[in-house]
Amino acid sequence: MAGLSTRHLLGIKDLNVSDLQLIFETADNFKTVLNRPIKKVPSLRDVTIANIFFENSTRTRLSFELAEKRLSADVVNFAASSSSVSKGETLIDTVNNILAMKVDMVVMRHPYAGAATFLSKHVKAQIVNAGDGAHEHPTQALLDAFSIRERYGDVAGKKVVIVGDILHSRVALSNILCLKQLGAEVMVCGPTTLIPKYIGALGVKVEHDLIKALNWCDVANMLRIQLERQDIKYFPSLREYTMLYGLNKQILDSLDKEITVMHPGPINRGVEITSDVADSKQSIILDQVENGVAIRMAVLYLLAGQTP
């Protein structure tokens, strides 16, 4: 079996189309495993993986941990808030101390863009980027594309709109890079202040009218407003944002065709999406969560199969 073209998973930009297809085909097999009564396989027995999270996380951390345990890996969890990082220890020192305990792979989330790439150049272990600042979140983009593929049979030719806080979103950038490679058409939609200035260079359309964007698309990926990353006010109020860019059942039912609704989570119900949309049959939000485990199993399995 051919392997991945990269030793680490730092971002979608490091993957080619063959890598993406290999990850999806491997995830198909692991999804079959996850639906069996016994959900565990011994693929990564004797491999030790450290989950190092310098930012809060629920779904991603649990999804990676579950994927690792389903593959029979030994798992070490590390939370920066309760570690020596709070005493002034550097990132490289922290990771080298963990690697001295014979850890084979590091899954890391960090608030600063490029942290995973920086680390990959200074330590011997394989690095999986679980999100670095507002830069990339590769496994989220992979599971989103995998979910679209599962729903429609193929990603190529599909029209996907990403709505919301594009400026601060690592999910948006990784999704754009992944979907474009797979042959989808991509549009971003949101207030002018939350759309990056040179986003057109990525080959995406820009729309500021939500209804027009939704009538154009097959799939709408609704992003959360990342207030924790905003140092100034980008719009007058959450109420006004919801009036202009919030998706409710009334809007969904008024569209020319039935679209698929996605959300990377966590959902702010009543802001970017209402409960009746999130829980509707057009929503595949829980399918995304389920697919996240299979995709992360595939990534870890394929990376661990490489020789240094």
Q: Which are the contacts of 240, defined by CB distance < 8 A and separation ≥ 6? A: none
- How far is residue 133's CA from residue 139's CA, in Å, rounded to a whole number? 14
Q: Is residue 269 a known part of a binding site?
A: no
Q: Is residue 59 a known part of a binding site?
A: yes
- How far is residue 160's CA from residue 147's CA, in Å, rounded to a whole number? 12
Q: Is residue 137 a known part of a binding site?
A: yes
Residue 162's SS3 state is strand
Q: Is residue 3 a known part of a binding site?
A: no
Q: Is residue 109 a known part of a binding site?
A: yes
Cα end-to-end span (Å), the chain: 17
Q: Is residue 224 a known part of a binding site?
A: yes
Structural contact between residues 5 and 181, judged by C-beta atoms closer than 8 angstroms: no
Structural contact between residues 15 and 139, judged by C-beta atoms closer than 8 angstroms: no
Query: What kind and span of H or E run contains 160?
Result: strand 159-163
Q: Is residue 265 a known part of a binding site?
A: yes
Q: Is residue 87 a known part of a binding site?
A: yes
Residue ranges for the known binding site for carbamoyl phosphate are 59-60, 109, 137, 140, 265-266
Residue ranges for the known binding site for L-aspartate are 87, 170, 224
Residue ranges for the known binding site are 59-60, 87, 109, 137, 140, 170, 224, 265-266
